Amino acid sequence: MTLLALDNITKAYGGAPALRGVSLTVEPGEIHALMGENGAGKSTLIKILAGVVMPDTANIAIDGKAVTIDSPAQAHRLGLRFIHQEFNVVPALSVAENLFLGRPYPRRWGGLIDWPRLNATARATLERLGISHIDPAAPLSRLSLGDQMLVRISSAFLDEGGAPARLYVLDEPTAALSRSESQALFKVLAGIKASGCSILYVSHRLDEIMTICDRATVLRDGTSIDSGRLAEITHDDLVAMMIGRPVGQAYPAPAAAPGSAEMLRIADLSLGAEPFGLTVRAGEILGVAGLANAGQTKLLRTLFGDRASRARITLSGQPYRPRSPADAWRAGVAYVPAERRSEGLMLTRPIFENATLPHLAAQSLGGTWLTPGRERAATRTAGERVRLKARGPDQLAGTLSGGNQQKVVFARALAGNPRLLLLDEPTRGVDIGAKFDIYTLIRDMAAKGMGVILVSSDLPELLGMADRIAVLRGGALIGLHEAAALDQERLLNLCYGRAPAEPAATES
Amino acid sequence: MLTLLRRYGTLIGFALILAFFWANLPDTFMTARNWLNITQQLSMLMVVAAGMTIVMVMGDFDLSVGSMASLAGIVVAVLFTLDVPIWAAITLGLLVGLAGGAFNGVLVSYVGILPFVGTLATLTMFSGAGFLVSGGKTISGRAIPEAFGSFARGGLPLGEWGGVAISLPNLTIVALVIVALSWVLLEQTTFGRRLYAIGGNLEAARLAGVAVRRLKLIAFALAGTSAALAGIMYASRVASANPTQGSSLMLNAIAAVFLGSTMSENGEPRILATIVGVLILGVLDNGLTQLAVDSYVRQILVGGIIILAVAASSLTKGLKTR
């Protein structure tokens, strides 16, 4: 019998419809993907399931019995468990304490906390999910981001008495995870599925969905499309459902081969391992691949003047020794950081202030007097260039969608006409439509003679965009390849340090 | 509607306070003389609050401004007893503020101490220095030059009002100049824009090329200097200096900036909003004094109004995001 059946879900916010008759069914023991571009209504639908938002109309049935979900407590009673995008963790507390966050700790006489039982219960829960490498007594702050996510997810699996869990809703669980951490998570999800519980899996990552999910429901403009069994359709079919038209290419074609002029030369660069050198030609996109923390961000931060280094760097033939991000911007080096919200934008400030901040010296009179009119005009121009969808230059950056926020970061990077563009995960958390815009933009910049370094954990993105790909492992450069000579499997093997000729056999 | 209430609630509250005093003090409250008097009483607080706004724009604050004001007043008075000319004494007093503020800036931005802890420590240090330099005594009487004391009593004649000659007090003029300078600095220059960027997201500002440490240092130095100026103004007004006379300034300045920031779109401090905050505190003080309300009751009322304004602002903000 169908575990969860939603039918005719509608919801309008102040007259603007967010959901217009959505249906979705989840079978027992199924991993069901919920997809759609930003703004398609995914979060509204999840909030309705969680009892946080009241729908205008809804037919909801669990095990064939009609139910109403009017509060988070009711959702919990019905066996629905939610694991949200934002971590709710306290880094200073231990793993076990974080598992029990918001729940009563086990007690012994006198109301004192029963620490041994707390840790034992935590360990049992982790082990049931096949997680044995995490010590329940360790402070959470000592864990990697991926392990923290696993802890966060595990907390939904604590036995609490009362209603047993039936359906877990995971919202973008892998957004901040490395590939190997994601793999660990998928193993956990497979275990849950085998136990007969179901999972509603929200993600932007098509490859993931095609690999681990059984079926998908695609939301578009507030309506829903049932994909049928994913095993029977292709990647492109799924994308077509999301964007409502057949896919062209996922990546724009390069305009021309990169020139031969050298834009950047790095020598003796040490990222905590054997020093190495790299070059980027004008018009070239150099991809950088590797597992999490293989030195990618260090590489970019060194070039951006944010990390002390003895490396010898030349930019367009001139010695380049940046000692601060300000030096880098002045030298024509622009940086798009990985964490848009914490490192990229001032969310409470208007778009134009975000876009012009690094260029204020040039955009002001004598470096001192602001010229807001000119700044707004420049921001409008830059906004059109990156196809920014906003009400105007005075809209607050925090009120934009993820994709448009990233476009503001790009508008800022491009406003100074840089020579070298440093990109760290430029399309993370960006929907497909905006992704293509950003790829087109990167191509255009390269075509104009800019050098681009593209760090990404999305291997198809690297293969689709880069001219050459440098592979980093443990801070060392372990390979530099023409992208055309690689495919996804070979690149993945290189990242793991396995010889491409003998896959899987020599895992380190 | 809620947004309107949130942004204009404080202004509406201010209008109600004005209306209340006007109704209860029909003869004396809404007169040019009383208002010029209010601006003079407020001038020191306004100067300190302007400096505090500059620091709070970055999301920091400076607890040491009150004891710095006392210290600067003492330094100037002690220099007078050594027959140092007025201009030189004032300059040295301001330099003490600049140095003390810069010291705060070094602690916060280069050493990396939280502003609360760092400026709490310097609050104690400046206060101790004030007692040390003055020997714990009030410096007054003949040591204070006549011209220094008469400056605060003087003003720019404005003509007559109801048969009484009125003038714009010199201290008010000083405060207006400082407000104008701060407004230009925060709203019209790249310096101010960068401070707001730091307040918006320090890490993002740093990666966008903002020299965060240097700007923080400068901002704290400005706050220290404005505190010293306020202390010197106070010394001029009472023609004396003692090591505790600036102590009420710090809490009132922070309160004024908070009151003002309830009126801006994202709760960020703005200099013109700070003026309203200062006026609310000043008008309350003036009106309640005229109504002969006990000064302890006044303190309770002022605290309550701050809570009311900030609570109303954060509660309506919560409703808006829900």
Give, for all 508 residues of chain A, the pLDDT tens digit. 789 999 999 988 776 778 888 999 999 999 999 988 766 788 889 989 988 889 999 999 999 899 999 888 888 888 888 887 555 678 888 888 888 877 778 888 888 888 888 888 888 888 877 788 888 889 988 887 778 878 877 877 776 656 778 899 988 887 767 777 788 888 888 888 888 889 999 887 888 888 899 999 998 878 888 888 888 888 878 877 877 766 666 788 777 777 778 999 999 999 988 899 999 999 999 999 988 788 999 999 999 999 988 899 999 999 999 999 999 999 999 999 988 888 999 999 999 999 999 999 888 999 899 999 999 999 999 999 888 988 899 999 988 888 899 999 999 999 888 999 999 999 887 877 788 889 999 999 899 899 999 999 888 899 999 999 999 988 999 999 999 898 888 888 888 776 554 444 333 3
A171 pairs with which residues across the strands?
A: A202
**Out of B189, B193, B265, whose CB is closest to A353?**
B193
A347 at interface of B, judged by CB pairs closer than 8 A: yes
Taking contacts as CB-CB distances below 8 angstroms, the residues of chain B near A361 are 190
Taking contacts as CB-CB distances below 8 angstroms, the residues of chain A near B265 are 396
HSE, CB side, 13 Å, CA atoms: give it for residue A359: 26
Alpha-carbon gap, residue A202 to B76, rounded angstroms: 67
**Out of A337, A348, A360, whose CB is closest to B207?**
A337
Sheet arrangement for strand A312-315: A276-281, A262-269, A312-315, A318-319
Flag if A347 and B201 touch (Cβ within 8 Å): yes
Angstroms from B187 CA to nearest CA on chain A: 8
User: Which residue pairs, CB below 8 angstroms and at least 24 apart, start in A97-104?
Assistant: A98/A140, A98/A151, A98/A152, A98/A155, A99/A125, A99/A136, A99/A151, A99/A154, A99/A155, A99/A158, A100/A155, A100/A158, A101/A155, A103/A158, A103/A160
* Tokens standing for residue A267: 């020598």
Flag if A348 and B268 touch (Cβ within 8 Å): yes
Taking contacts as CB-CB distances below 8 angstroms, the residues of chain B near A328 are 209
Q: How confident is the model at residue A253, as a pLDDT?
A: 79
DSSP secondary structure code for residue B188 in this structure: I
Residue B191's closest chain A neighbor by CA?
A368
Angstroms from A91 CA to nearest CA on chain B: 20
Alpha-carbon gap, residue A488 to A505, rounded angstroms: 18
Angstroms from A348 CA to nearest CA on chain B: 6
As a dihedral over the C-alpha atoms of residue B285, residue B289, residue B294, residue B299, rounded to 10 degrees, the angle is 0
Burial (CB count <10 Å: 0-12, 13-18, 19+), residue B88: exposed
Q: Are B232 and B90 in contact (CB under 8 A)?
A: yes
**A223-229 and A262-269: which strand pairing?**
unpaired
Mean pLDDT of chain B: 91
Q: How confident is the model at residue B64 (pLDDT cuts 50, 70, 90)?
A: very high
Q: Which residues have a Cβ under 8 Å from the Cβ of A241 and sit 6 or more positions away?
A: A35, A218, A220, A225, A227
Q: How confident is the model at residue B1 (pLDDT cuts 50, 70, 90)?
A: low
Q: How confident is the model at residue B2, as a pLDDT?
A: 61
Taking contacts as CB-CB distances below 8 angstroms, the residues of chain B near A304 are 207
Mutate to test the interface with B, among A346, A368, A396, A406 (most CBs of B within 10 A): A346
**A57-62 and A4-13: which strand pairing?**
antiparallel
Flag if A325 and B208 touch (Cβ within 8 Å): yes
Alpha-carbon gap, residue A438 to A423, rounded angstroms: 11
Integer CA distances (angstroms), B321 to A5, A405, B22, B268, B318, in order: 30, 19, 38, 17, 5
Residue type, A211: T
Flag if A346 and B266 touch (Cβ within 8 Å): no
Alpha-carbon gap, residue A246 to A226, rounded angstroms: 17
> Which A residues, 389 through 448, put their C-beta within 8 Å of a C-beta on chain B?
396, 412
Taking contacts as CB-CB distances below 8 angstroms, the residues of chain A near B196 are 346, 349, 353
Taking contacts as CB-CB distances below 8 angstroms, the residues of chain A near B192 are 370
Flag if B266 and A325 touch (Cβ within 8 Å): no
Flag if A342 and B207 touch (Cβ within 8 Å): no
Backbone phi, then psi, for A336, in 5-degree steps?
Answer: -110, 105
Residue A322's closest chain B neighbor by CA?
B209
Flag if B201 and A367 touch (Cβ within 8 Å): no
* Tokens standing for residue A366: 């004598």
Residue A339's closest chain B neighbor by CA?
B204
A476 at interface of B, judged by CB pairs closer than 8 A: no
**Out of B187, B203, B209, whose CB is closest to A343?**
B203
Q: How confident is the model at residue B69, as a pLDDT?
A: 97
pTM exceeds 0.90: no
Comparing C-alpha atoms, which of A422, A390, A382, A427 is closest to residue A406?
Answer: A427
**A31-35 and A215-220: which strand pairing?**
parallel
Pick the range with the lowest mean pLDDT from A124-133, B31-40, B133-142, B200-209. Answer: A124-133
pLDDT at B320 over 80: no
A357 at interface of B, judged by CB pairs closer than 8 A: yes
Flag if A345 and B189 touch (Cβ within 8 Å): no
SS3 content of chain A, % helix, strand, coil (to 5): 35, 25, 40
Q: Go through B152-167 and write b for each residue having 16 or more CB atoms within 10 A of its CB, e for each that does not.
A: beebeeeeeeeeeebe
Backbone phi, then psi, for A339, in 5-degree steps?
Answer: -100, 95
Angstroms from B317 CA to nearest CA on chain A: 14
Residue A395's closest chain B neighbor by CA?
B265
**Out of B191, B197, B203, whose CB is closest to A353?**
B197
The string of pLDDT tens digits covering residues B219-269 is 999 999 999 999 999 999 999 999 999 988 999 999 999 889 888 877 889
Mutate to test the interface with B, among A52, A339, A360 (most CBs of B within 10 A): A360
Angstroms from B197 CA to nearest CA on chain A: 7
Residue A330's closest chain B neighbor by CA?
B209
B295 pairs with which residues across the strands?
A: none
* Tokens standing for residue B80: 């007078």
Q: Are B253 and B63 in contact (CB under 8 A)?
A: no
A360 at interface of B, judged by CB pairs closer than 8 A: yes
Rounded to the nearest angstrom, the gap between the alpha carbon of residue A38 and the centroid of all alpha carbons in its chain is 13
3-state secondary structure of A229: strand
Comparing C-alpha atoms, which of A34, A2, A29, A20 is closest to residue A227?
Answer: A34
> Which A residues, 246 through 305, put their C-beta within 8 Å of a C-beta on chain B?
304
Q: How confident is the model at residue A507, as a pLDDT?
A: 36
A325 at interface of B, judged by CB pairs closer than 8 A: yes
A24 pairs with which residues across the strands?
A: A6
Mutate to test the interface with B, among A351, A357, A368, A371 (most CBs of B within 10 A): A357
A132 at interface of B, judged by CB pairs closer than 8 A: no
DSSP secondary structure code for residue B272 in this structure: H
Flag if B193 and A343 touch (Cβ within 8 Å): no
Q: Go through A479-495 and write b for each residue having 16 or more CB atoms within 10 A of its CB, e for each that does not.
A: bebebeebeeebbbbbb
Interface of B with A (CB under 8 A): 187-194, 196-197, 200-201, 203-211, 265-266, 268
Flag if A370 and B193 touch (Cβ within 8 Å): yes
- Contacts A–B by Cβ distance under 8 A: 76
DSSP string across A322-370:
--SHHHHHHTTEEEE-S-IIIII--TTSBHHHHHHGGGHHHHSBTTTB-
Sheet arrangement for strand A476-482: A333-336, A420-424, A451-455, A285-289, A468-473, A476-482
Q: How confident is the model at residue A100, as a pLDDT?
A: 83
A348 at interface of B, judged by CB pairs closer than 8 A: yes
Q: How confident is the model at residue B173, as a pLDDT?
A: 96
Comparing C-alpha atoms, which of A394, A305, A404 is closest to residue A356?
Answer: A394
Q: How confident is the model at residue A38, as a pLDDT?
A: 66
Flag if B190 and A328 touch (Cβ within 8 Å): no
Residue A371's closest chain B neighbor by CA?
B188
Alpha-carbon gap, residue A378 to A393, rounded angstroms: 9
Residue A329's closest chain B neighbor by CA?
B209
Q: How confident is the model at residue A98, as a pLDDT?
A: 85
Flag if B206 and A325 touch (Cβ within 8 Å): yes
Flag if B204 and A358 touch (Cβ within 8 Å): no
Flag if B266 and A342 touch (Cβ within 8 Å): no
